[in-house]
Amino acid sequence: MTQSMVQSPKPHTVLAKIFHWGFIVIFAYAVIKQVGTISDLGDTALLRFEVFFALGFLGLLVARFVYMRLTRPTALPEGTPRMMKLMARAGHLAIYVSLGSIALSGLMIAAVYSMYGPENWMIEPVLWLHESAVAASYLTIGIHISAAVFHRIKGDGIWSAMVPVFKERPTDGA
């Protein structure tokens, strides 16, 4: 089988694709509208919005995780080496953990700010946690994109199972 001739794995469901691509939109929105400085949280409406946004984000993240685990743990072809399967699973879990950590640390910032104010000693450690989670998410997302491109180049059908453009050509079963 050539790299351009692929016996494609079953595509992900429409809901799985909505979760996947929807998270890109939500994450991009969060990055674009991020809070500038800790003092911005003095605006009660902004603080409330940030809390609800983080809770909604966490809820969707948990729903996506559960849905994907119940419906399709992997799109990797049957003969994929065990190490590649482990790397794929670890990579996906790392994305969930890093994204969840952003929301949880953001909620911690809101709690500390609301209860103790912006000058409390706890603000700096939770800001560091939050910034570290954001950096980890950039790293894990970058690795995820690199892996997707790897699979597109490899031509094993993984790309086409989730990505709606630059589809691989499926084989006729031969």
pLDDT at 5: 44
How large is the average pLDDT for residues 6-18? Answer: 73
Q: How far apart are the first and last CA of the chain?
A: 8
Task: Check whether 15 has a pLDDT greater than 90.
Answer: no
How large is the average pLDDT for residues 156-172? Answer: 71
Q: Which two tokens stand for residue 56?
A: 């909604």
- Each residue's pLDDT tens digit, 113-152: 999 999 999 999 999 999 999 999 999 999 999 998 988 8
Stated pTM of the model: 0.84
**pLDDT top residue among 112 and 8:** 112
- Local confidence band at 2 (pLDDT 50, 70, 90 cut-offs): very low
Mean pLDDT, the chain, as a whole number? 86
- Each residue's pLDDT tens digit, 39-81: 889 899 999 999 999 999 999 999 999 988 888 767 777 778 8
Return d(Cα 143, Cα 72) in angstroms, integer.
21
**CB neighbour burial string for 2-22, b if at least 16 within 10 angstroms, e if fewer:** eeeebebbebbeeebeebeee
